[in-house]
Amino acid sequence: MEKNLPYDHHHQQPVPQAPPSYDNTQPGYPNLNQPQPVILTQPQVMQAPPNVLGGVPSMATCPSCGVRRQTKVEFEPSTKTHLLALLICMLGGICCCCIPYCTDSCQSAKHTCGSCGAYVGTYKN
């Protein structure tokens, strides 16, 4: 028989003891009386790089179909184009006032998706 357990003299069996309690003040012992916090993790979402548009075709994510491809660029006259043409005309260059309409750097670059043709953005220089 075990020598460390108290002995019940009526039934001739050792008396069972309660399991040892945890001491919350000692490091390394878990506190079983309080519920443990649940740590929720957010799923990692990979975002596409931002669309950086310029005067040339560039890589962009289409807001319509979500495909990341090189854009198609079309140049359109802007307010800047019209003001330059008016300035050239006022300075006496009536025959040269069409130059801003033929120069891409004086117009806005309209970017469209290479897959579906949806509008992606405009670069105004």
In a domain, 34, yes or no: no
> What contacts 109, CB < 8 A, 6 or more positions away?
53, 54, 55, 56, 73, 74, 75, 122, 123, 125
The better pLDDT of the pair 91, 43 is held by 91
In a domain, 102, yes or no: yes
In a domain, 68, yes or no: yes
Domain holding 125, by residue range, is 52-125
Does the pLDDT value for residue 34 go beyond 70? no
Per-residue model confidence (pLDDT) at position 72 = 95
Distance, CA of 112 to CA of 67 (rounded, Å): 12
Q: What is the mean pLDDT of residues 26-45?
A: 68
In a domain, 39, yes or no: no
In a domain, 2, yes or no: no
Does the pLDDT value for residue 115 go beyond 80? yes
Per-residue model confidence (pLDDT) at position 17 = 61
In a domain, 108, yes or no: yes
- Band of residue 44 on the pLDDT scale cut at 50, 70, 90: confident
Distance, CA of 122 to CA of 29 (rounded, Å): 62
In three-state secondary structure terms, 111 is: strand
Distance, CA of 40 to CA of 24 (rounded, Å): 25
In a domain, 114, yes or no: yes
- Band of residue 3 on the pLDDT scale cut at 50, 70, 90: low
Could you read off the pLDDT of 7-31 as tens digits, one per residue? 555 556 665 665 555 555 556 666 6
Could you read off the pLDDT of 49-97 as tens digits, one per residue? 777 888 899 999 998 898 899 999 999 999 999 999 999 999 887 888 8
Q: How many domains does one find in the chain?
A: 1
Distance, CA of 102 to CA of 84 (rounded, Å): 12
In a domain, 69, yes or no: yes
